[in-house]
Amino acid sequence: MDKYYLGLDCSSKAVHGSIINHDGVLQETIKWTSPIKDFDARFVAFLTNFYEELGIIVERYPSLWVAVEAPIFIQNPRTTMQIASVVYATKFICSLHGLNSILVQNKTWKKVTVGNGNATKSDILEYANKFWNTQFAEQDWADAACVALWCKKWYMELAIELAEEII
């Protein structure tokens, strides 16, 4: 059975997801958002949509591992709290679908995938477009794809460690 990896990049306005397979091949990109301007109403709308669509995704990709970019802390405390709310709500929704999810700091996935923990948005987009031989329509999809790639590498290392403990 193939394993699949879902990388999630959250903001106060949307959740971007990218799914790759065990070979690192990009399977699809998904975006959950809402046109509602008020955060509290938008939060409920797009996360309800995320919950419903994640159930369909789990059926399509039965062996799915999930990594979520950890909340970033920015100067505006309100936005920081909103992003953190979205991140932890996505983790909760994943658990409702029986999916384990792991948080990853942005410097960590950037270092492992792009090779530079301080990579800029343009560095990430250039790397992702080359690696997957595509043109990501949005920066956040490139980020999510790199988070998925980090997830694949992290779980592979974990599997090796577990196998070594058994031997």
What's the mean pLDDT in 69-97? 94
> Looking at 100-104, 118-122, 148-152, 159-163, which range is the least confident one?
159-163
The total of structural domains in the chain comes to 1
Domain with 134, as residue range(s), is 4-166
Tokens representing 133 are: 């031989």
CATH of the domain at 150: 3.30.420.10
The rounded percent of the chain whose pLDDT value lies above 90 is 86
Q: Does residue 160 surpass a pLDDT of 80?
A: no
What's the pTM value of the predicted model, to 2 decimals?
Answer: 0.92
pLDDT digits (tens, 9 = 90+) for 41-77: 999 999 999 999 999 999 999 899 999 999 988 878 9
Q: Three-state SS for 64?
A: strand
CB atoms within 10 A of CB 93: 19
- Which secondary-structure segment (H or E) carries 162? helix 139-166
Distance, C-alpha 111 to centroid of its chain = 16
Tokens representing 12 are: 């106060």
The C-alpha atoms of residue 34 and residue 43 are separated, in whole angstroms, by 8
Question: Bigger pLDDT: 58 or 154?
Answer: 58
Q: What is the pLDDT of residue 65?
A: 95
Q: Does residue 88 surpass a pLDDT of 90?
A: yes
Q: Give the pLDDT band (50/70/90) at residue 11.
A: very high
